[in-house]
Amino acid sequence: MNRQLFQQRVIERAVNASLEEAETYSEFGETLSIKVYDGEVETYSLADEGGVSLRAVVDGKMGYAYTEKLEERSIDFLMSTVRQNAQVIDEPVTVSIFGGSEHYEKADFYESALHEVEVDSLIDRLIELERYVYSLDDRIVRVNQCGAQIFEAERSLTNTNGLALHERSNGFYVYVSVLVSNGEEKKTGYAMRLTRDIHSIDWNELAREAVREATESLGSRSIPSKKYKVLLRNDAATSLFKVFLSALSAEEVVRGTSRLKDQVGETIASPALTMIDDPSHAPTLSETTFDAEGVATKRQTIIERGQLKTFFHNRETAKALHVETTGHAYKPSYKGKLMVAPHHLIIASGDVTREECIERLTDGVYITRLAGLHSGANATTGDFSVAASGFYVENGTIAFPLRQMTIAGNFFDSLHDIEAIATDRYDGFGRLSMPSVLLRQLAVTIEQ
């Protein structure tokens, strides 16, 4: 049975089984992953996965079930389990299944040319990339990783209110990681590109970037540990900010675990910070025209010149906090429950270039990479203590790379310490794109 037909059939049977309200939500994806090592294909995987979930209301309560096998017998399974599951739930539903927004953006996030890419030519291109990397510098010990992925995804939602939504997207991602040594120290460098237009990639520049990242870190020295003015490079800043985005989730606010609770309308950051959510222009390829409960998505301002304008809501959290939904319902997978997440956050570019920011550092630190974020940061309190790599900047010029550092502080306090935002926005993975950030001060501990 094909996917569309299956979902329609599920709704038909839900209606026949007198389920008060029912909704199917599905996600399907296909990913081709290739890694090369030493001139040969090291791993190759072609994976297609996905499924259809059903949620339905019975006696005022919501049950969930899902299936990856699209056949009639699965529908029997969905009908019987969703009913039983609704019955054992204790909390009645506070919001019904959605009837539909007035208007949905017409957008296409699928590039057909990507679908036509030949596997053989991609393998050859990767082997050539690895070879070119090796040719760039004698200090290269090993190309640790060199690979690419082509991914396609399709999602769809249909419900007993007649709502039927569908969209698809695809993308390409290539990465290379290299290990270098000067005989005393070993350092790694990494570079990646994420795009829908494979022809826009400058493969040689990708190689040079990875090697540069690694070789520039050789010859590290130390400086005293104290508070410094810090420039967080765009990619490092993105990795830090992502950890604390949950504070903007209305779910966390309702649970009492967000430090930004009751702060809508208040100043939570320096006036240099403006953050918008734009679901239809996501350089990280997470665009969408409808959220996980079918509400049309729209561009909106989250933080304006330091002032918090809204949290991310779904219809349930919106009802609990007496506001309109912002269209941020999210399911991490079709198997799970409805939660909340941003679509694509963009921190607006400022008016100083990265170079100008560096010039502002007389005795400062330029941080290019962070690690240990999953264990060294507390999203609820805002406290963080994470490993960092970077450079010492003296009188506006990068002087030398620094030994292993730790930066520590409180994220919500640091938001007020933002002196400037640069113009160099970074588009990596995840739902956030942001430029480099100049922080007035941050506690930096350096290996002596």
Partner 1 sequence: MIHERMIERVLDAALSTGGDFAEIFVEDRFSNRYELLTSAIETAVSGRDFGIGIRIFSGVRSIYTYTTSFEENALIALAQRAAHALRRGESIIQSRPMIRETFPKQMIEKWPNDVEAIAKTDVLRQMDDYARAYDPRIEQVRVRYFDETQHVLIANSDGRLVEDTRVHSRINIVPTAEENGVIQTGHYGPGGHAGFEWIEQLDHRYYAEEASRIAVTMLHADECPSGKFPVIIDNEFGGVIFHEACGHGLEATAVAKGNSVFAGRVGEKVASDLVTYIDDGTMPNAWGSLNVDDEGEPTRKNVLIEKGRLKGFLVDRLNGRRMNAAPTGSSRRQSYQFAPTSRMTNTYIANGETDPADMIASTEYGIYAKYMGGGSVNPATGDYNFAVMEGYIVKDGKIGRPIKGATLIGNGAETLYNVDRVGNNLAHGAGMCGSVSGSIPVNVGQPMIRVSEMTVGGTKEGNE
Which spans of this chain sit near partner 1 (rule: CB under 8 A)?
28, 34, 41, 43-51, 63-69, 74, 77, 81-82, 84-91, 119, 123, 335-337
145 vs 274, beta carbon nearer partner 1: 145
119 vs 399, beta carbon nearer partner 1: 119
Tokens 């935002």 identify what position?
Answer: 421
| Closest distance to partner 1 from the beta carbon of 175 (Å) | 19
35 vs 131, beta carbon nearer partner 1: 35
| Closest distance to partner 1 from the beta carbon of 276 (Å) | 33
| Closest distance to partner 1 from the beta carbon of 287 (Å) | 24
91 vs 262, beta carbon nearer partner 1: 91
Beta strands in 310-362 (DSSP E): 329-330, 339-340, 345-347
Tokens 């604390």 identify what position?
Answer: 244
| Closest distance to partner 1 from the beta carbon of 330 (Å) | 16
| Closest distance to partner 1 from the beta carbon of 294 (Å) | 20
Render 154-222 in DSSP notation, one character per residue.
EEEEEETTS-EEEEEEEEEEEEEEEEEE-SS-EEEEEEEEEES-GGG--HHHHHHHHHHHHHTTSS-B-
In angstroms, the CA 89 to CA 339 distance is 17
In angstroms, the CA 252 to CA 314 distance is 12
User: Quick check: 158 and 7 in contact, CB under 8 A?
Assistant: yes
29 vs 396, beta carbon nearer partner 1: 29
| Closest distance to partner 1 from the beta carbon of 220 (Å) | 23
Kindly report the number of other CB atoms within 10 A of residue 126's CB atom.
20
375 vs 448, beta carbon nearer partner 1: 375
Q: Hey, what amino acid is at 256?
A: G
Residue 384, CB-side half-sphere exposure with 13 Å CA sphere: 27
